[in-house]
A and B are shown apart, each in its own frame.
Chain A
Amino acid sequence: MNGALRALVVTLVIEVPIVAALFPRQRLRMAAIALVANTVTNLTLNVGLPRMGVHGMPRILVGEAAALVLEAAAYALLSRPREVGRAIIASALGNGLSFTFGGALASLMFG
């Protein structure tokens, strides 16, 4: 499994349950939305931006900021009823935890 795929798996393992937990009345729906949104943002971070020539620190800052905003927007727009505050919390918590502890979890999962 290559690095980008490992990073995607770790991100999904951390973020999808957080989103599902924060939207208890629409767990399955929001889990599916989180799955799609995180797949798009994570592949953009680890595959798309490098292909566009964005590397190193700018890639991390741009990619993580984009992930935070786009995922919050997706959760806010697609939740029923729309819950903007909860969407921002879900995105910030998920991205914060996967960024901070993703590497450690990847080591546990993939050695």
Chain B
Amino acid sequence: MHRPTVFILATTCALAVVTHAHADCAEGARYDTGVASNTVTIGLANTSRVCPDTSGMLRQNETTGEIDLLASYCGMGPDGESAYVDECVAPGTYRYGLAVPYSCTEGGCGGVEMFAEITVASALGTCTRAATDPGPTITNDAPPWGTGPSPAGGKNCGGGCACDTATASVASMNTFALFVGIAVVLTARKRRRA
């Protein structure tokens, strides 16, 4: 048998027996962030969750450890998705993330982000929030990523997430297409021989 044929058949078998792909190269739910002067935008990307989220968006100052709950002041993220807008943020490095983090059922496979790390460099100066933005409030809630010095920024979904439904569907679709392709090639060969 030709080497390419063996390769194709072996791969077909491999794809056919995949019941739980553990990852893919489609992105999972994540934060899409932007910084303009002292305004931080945290978009909720690849998820059905929108701002204001019922759990709230937390902000952790990496230097002081202070945890704030952002106001439900919403706008549009860099990619046009629903986003939290945090105005008049003092210079520093912060971790932003939902109080109830993305779960594996919220879109994408492979993993989801726990928080986004953002550095604001501009001096605060005189900054005025929009009239409808009450600003963040200090909270004692521990963020879901913990209070340690270097928390994990993401959560690996592995198998067993709702995405497995999509994963199985995509694997089946590709396997079916592979068989169709093989059938077309074999039919064309038969016709040439005849």
Contact = CB atoms under 8 A, between A and B. Distances in A.
Given A88-B184, A93-B11, A22 B4 contact: yes
B178 A55 contact: no
Contacts of A78: none
Contacts of B110: 103, 106
Contacts of B181: 72, 85-92
A65 B30 CA distance: 23
B35 interface: no
Contacts of B183: 85
B173 interface: yes
Interface residues of A, number: 49
B166 A100 contact: no
Nearest to A21: B4
A4 B46 CA distance: 11
B108 interface: yes
Contacts of A45: 26
Interface centre among B24, B25, B106 (most CB of A within 10 A): B25
Contacts of A85: 181-188
Contacts of B180: 88, 92
Contacts of B171: 96, 99-100
B88 interface: no
Interface in B166-194: 166-167, 169-171, 173-175, 177-178, 180-188
Contact of B26 (A64, A101, A105, A107): A64
B4 A106 contact: no
Contacts of A47: 79
Contact of B24 (A21, A68, A84, A102): A102
Nearest to B105: A56
Interface stretch (B15-23, B53-61, B123-131, B135-143): B15-23
Contacts of A60: 24, 26, 108-109, 163, 166-167, 170
Contacts of A59: 26, 46, 107
B27 interface: yes
A59 B26 CA distance: 9
Given A57-B107, A68-B173, A89-B8, A99 B21 contact: yes
Interface of A: 3-4, 6-7, 10-11, 21-22, 42, 45-47, 50-51, 55-57, 59-61, 63-65, 68, 72, 83-93, 95-107
Q: In the A-B complex, list the 10 residue pairs whose CB atoms are closest, starting with the nearest.
A: A103-B23, A102-B25, A85-B184, A88-B181, A56-B107, A96-B174, A89-B181, A85-B185, A92-B177, A103-B110
